[in-house]
Amino acid sequence: MARKIVARVIVAILLGLVIGYFAGESVARDAAKGKDLTMKEYIADFEGHKQELESSATPMAATLVGGVIILIVVLGIYELLALVVDKGLAAVDRRNPAGAPPSAPPYWQG
């Protein structure tokens, strides 16, 4: 049981690091664009920016259904990765499996 918890913690940390890395890269890329953007460039392409914002309107029902589907996929991937890590930890775990009879004590312990 403890091994499964350790596997889930490992997967959660790794997924958090990967998602955090890509989110940080996206924010840095947007910040670089914003730093290079001038008022004249923004005003000159104001209609383009406005059109881009307005074209991303999505109905609430579609957003909710999409959110549920994405959550199911993410949780499925998480569970699959946790299972793989758990199997990997079991392969390197040198302790006796649960229910295995203990071996005889060494001869010097009598």
> At a CB cut-off of 8 Å and minimum separation 6, what does 23 contact?
none
| pLDDT of 98 strictly over 70 | no
Whether pTM > 0.75 for this model: the answer is no
User: What would the mean pLDDT of 13-42 be, rounded to a whole number?
Assistant: 91
Question: Residue 75: in which H helix or E strand, if any?
Answer: helix 60-92
The mean pLDDT of the chain is: 87
In tens, the pLDDT along 9-27 reads 999 999 999 999 999 999 9
